[in-house]
Structure 1
Amino acid sequence: MEIRVLNKDDFDMRTELSMYAFQFSLTPEQLDEQRKHFKPENQWGAFEDGQLQAMYTLLPFQLYIQGRQMAMGGVAGVATFPEQRRKGHVAKLLSHALMEMKEKGQVVSCLAPFSFGFYRKYGWELYTDLKKYTILPSQFPPRVVTEGRVERVVPDSVLLERVYEAFASRYNGTLVRTQNWWKHTVFTRKAGRTAVYYRPDGEPGGYLLYGIENRVLTVHEMVYLDETARQGLWTFLANHDSMVEKLILTAPVNDELPYMLPDPRIGQEIVPYFMARIVDAASFVDQYAFHATGASVRLKLQLIDPHAPWNEGVWTWAVSVDGQGSLTKSELEDGETVDAGCDIQALTAMLMGYQRPGALRRYGRLTGSAEAADILERVVPQGQTFLMDYF
């Protein structure tokens, strides 16, 4: 089996596999249009006798983690024909993807799973959930007179991106959006209407991406920088009460809207969403913002990661007095034991902010001493995960 990047001559085979695996069809006109814009350089395939058997796409992104931007490899479009399944093709492609990401300096990877169990076998782990609200007009927040104003506008990435960046960087695992991503993905997939809250000085302080159809108001993104902006946007939404029968909104899991409602008995659903995986543990820890506790710490960590052997083994995990972390390959002296141990999934969940070290130890996902878990509790910052995008 040959694994290689696709080229323009592979368009027909790639499209046939995509349509079969993801159950869609294209008209001849749509095929011609896609052929014109086909960019194969981020797509990889497993070939036998020149025929495409399985494939994946590796997208170069940046993620916000603890307020810093880290290079991320987005894995998408993983597909294989049914007669080629259970032959190890996808496993080889995912191992190849990990090596590609490491070489490109992409220290973390994310994907939208068709099966959480399948991707957990290769080191990915659930890292973020979504909270979905269903709210009746009678349950809308009270209208509040605020400074500033809300206006419906034409979608404009230049107008929205500063607000988005300030909001998204508060969370772990949110996407750093390029103007191209705004134009060709955000505004395309979340097509509908845009409203912006302007502060009294004329600067944007929040926005909505939303749509209204069949008397349902769907809020795809509600982004705000302070409480005044939140109230202004909710007052704008509440003014649709005579037009709609319900409002559907997606928010971070730690969102506290029900507490602020006169009637908090609204529909709430927690939806497991994306998975993440640390690709290069040493580089990830080096770029991570740990708590500056005023004292340096040092632990011996046993890390398990059979699909990325460069992560596997015993490490000295150090965090300096100013919060700079490092992982250094280490050896155990005679009779010495590690302070803590985990697999790459648990390390990912911990450092992304999805699980706390103490909880992982209670679940048996972080082994070792209680003292080591307490040290990690002190140096690993609290952080809420969130993702408003899909790929």
Structure 2
Amino acid sequence: MNKYLLDDKSFDKFYDLYLYSFNREDSVSRKRVFKERFDHSLVYGLMNGKKLGSGLFSIPFDVNFHGVDFKMNGIGDVMSAPEFGGRGGASKMLDQALFDMYKNKVTLSYLAPFSFGYYRQFGYEQVFDHTQVAIENDKLPRIKNSSKGYVERIDVKDIPDELKKLYLDQNHLGGVNRSKWWWDHMIDKHADHKVALAYNEDDILIGYMIYFHEQENFHIHEWINLNPLSRQLLAKFVTKHQSIFKKFIFESPDPDFKADLLADPYSAELTVTPYMMARIVNLEDFFNRYPVQDDLDEVYIKVEDTLEWNAHTWKISVYDKKVSVEIADGEAANIELTIQNLTKAMFGYRSLESLADYGFIKGDSNKIKALDKILVQKKPELIDYF
């Protein structure tokens, strides 16, 4: 029996700890949204006498990584009561959650860190960045009207199934394959958001934008385009708010600024911020089903990890895009690195060669280059937050 898993009877204690730990005000809507997460999560808690001392969510998701679906558990709301802090409660629960993920055949885990250093202790590493682009209303680019297509504006509660399918079809860089409950949860959580739908002349959805207003700011929360027409239609929709709002802010999961696409690159303020961390829970499965980019002669990789099932020397080879991976403890390693740096490389966040240049990994330079060639090179993107 897992001594940390909580049942439905513990909801009120868990919710009360959440309110206090994160200094949140109670409300009917906040409690309802929180209960939605609670009902769809593995909920961990550690008692301090008759009170709950620590808690966290482990939320089951699926993610699409370059065309391959992997199980991923998102860790959220890691919290401890002040009087219970410093006793290792969160560490014990997180260790148990990772063990349970492995047992349940979960390959990856993501989380939003309060401290990057703290979660690196548990094998997590930064791989997701966000780019926030802000433009004053008088510096918005001029967008031509299109003679084709149109935009329809709706409330977020009226999001059509075709939008959900469009998101799913475009999600392939490690983002969440949103299930019905997660869509419902996000819509409930962001009830004040609006949606702009871009259609072509055949009434086919080709793009959408989810946005909200905050005082004098127009915030774009999510923006997906199928083609240049949808981008033109939705950009024109934004600029038509020029007289209403002073600043327009887009937080993009794409870390590439693309300032060169603006007529005046100085017109935009750019902030690139670290977003979320990832962890490889089951390295063997990730290697076995990894979307390899090239073939590879045998390489021996020694991986340092706190998870014993990952902490091995692995023999990796790829022939005709088929991966062969097996434990080869005792063999001389060509490359030695931590699970954190291997995560960066396998997610396409930073190449092995770059990590070697900075002194984070060591090994045979030719083997490092050869292994780099099989890894994806495009940085991952994640919109969702938990």
> Is the structural similarity TM-score above 0.5?
yes
What is the alpha-carbon distance in structure 1 between the residues aligned to residue 368 and residue 278 of structure 2?
Answer: 22
Partner of residue 383, structure 1: 378
Q: Against the structure 1 CA distance between its residues 274 and 41, is the aligned structure 2 distance closer, same or farther, given a 3 Å change threshold? A: closer
Partner of residue 178, structure 1: 179
Structure 1 position 84, deviation (Å): 2.2
What is the alpha-carbon distance in structure 2 between the residues aligned to residue 144 and residue 168 of structure 1?
Answer: 29
Structure 1 position 187, deviation (Å): 5.5
Please tell me whether the aligned partners of residues 316 and 328 of structure 1 are also in contact (alpha carbons under 8 angstroms).
yes
What is the alpha-carbon distance in structure 2 between the residues aligned to residue 26 and residue 254 of structure 1?
Answer: 35
Question: In structure 1, the residue corresponding to 2:276 is in which secondary structure?
Answer: strand
The one-character-per-residue Cα deviations of 1:102-147 (angstroms, maximum 9, x if unpaired) are 1111100000111111101111001111000111223222212332
Query: Which residues of structure 2 form unaligned runs of 5+?
Result: none
1:287 aligns with 2:286: no
Please tell me whether the aligned partners of residues 355 and 361 of structure 2 are also in contact (alpha carbons under 8 angstroms).
yes
- Equivalent of 1:350 in 319, 333, 345: 345
Please tell me whether the aligned partners of residues 129 and 274 of structure 1 are also in contact (alpha carbons under 8 angstroms).
yes
1:371 aligns with 2:361: no
Please tell me whether the aligned partners of residues 48 and 84 of structure 2 are also in contact (alpha carbons under 8 angstroms).
no
Question: In structure 1, the residue corresponding to 2:279 is in which secondary structure?
Answer: strand
1:62 aligns with 2:62: yes
Structure 1 position 35, deviation (Å): 10
Please tell me whether the aligned partners of residues 348 and 378 of structure 2 are also in contact (alpha carbons under 8 angstroms).
yes
In the TM superposition, 1:103-142 aligns within 5 A as 103-142=103-142
Question: In structure 2, the residue corresponding to 1:5 is in which secondary structure?
Answer: coil
RMSD: 2.3
What is the alpha-carbon distance in structure 2 between the residues aligned to residue 299 and residue 32 of structure 1?
Answer: 51
Structure 1 position 200, deviation (Å): 2.1
Structure 1 position 330, deviation (Å): 0.9
What is the alpha-carbon distance in structure 2 between the residues aligned to residue 79 and residue 52 of structure 1?
Answer: 10
Question: In structure 2, the residue corresponding to 1:234 is in which secondary structure?
Answer: helix
What is the alpha-carbon distance in structure 1 between the residues aligned to residue 114 and residue 171 of structure 2?
Answer: 25
Please tell me whether the aligned partners of residues 151 and 234 of structure 2 are also in contact (alpha carbons under 8 angstroms).
yes
The one-character-per-residue Cα deviations of 1:263-312 (angstroms, maximum 9, x if unpaired) are 21111000111010000100111121101x3x442110100002x11100
TM-score by length of 2: 0.92
1:159 aligns with 2:162: yes
What is the alpha-carbon distance in structure 1 between the residues aligned to residue 34 and residue 358 of structure 2?
Answer: 50
Please tell me whether the aligned partners of residues 6 and 41 of structure 1 are also in contact (alpha carbons under 8 angstroms).
no
TM-score by length of 1: 0.90
Partner of residue 84, structure 2: 84
User: Size of the alignment, in residue pairs?
Assistant: 380
What is the alpha-carbon distance in structure 1 between the residues aligned to residue 35 and residue 337 of structure 2?
Answer: 47
Q: Against the structure 1 CA distance between its residues 187 and 53, is the aligned structure 2 distance closer, same or farther, given a 3 Å change threshold? A: closer
In the TM superposition, 1:200-349 aligns within 5 A as 200-265=201-266, 266-291=268-293, 293=294, 295-306=295-306, 308-322=307-321, 324-333=322-331, 337-349=332-344
Structure 1 position 217, deviation (Å): 1.1
The one-character-per-residue Cα deviations of 1:188-234 (angstroms, maximum 9, x if unpaired) are 32632111111222111110111234232111111111222112211
Please tell me whether the aligned partners of residues 296 and 321 of structure 1 are also in contact (alpha carbons under 8 angstroms).
no
Please tell me whether the aligned partners of residues 347 and 376 of structure 2 are also in contact (alpha carbons under 8 angstroms).
no
When structure 1 is superposed on structure 2, of 147-156 and 274-283 the one drifting more is: 147-156
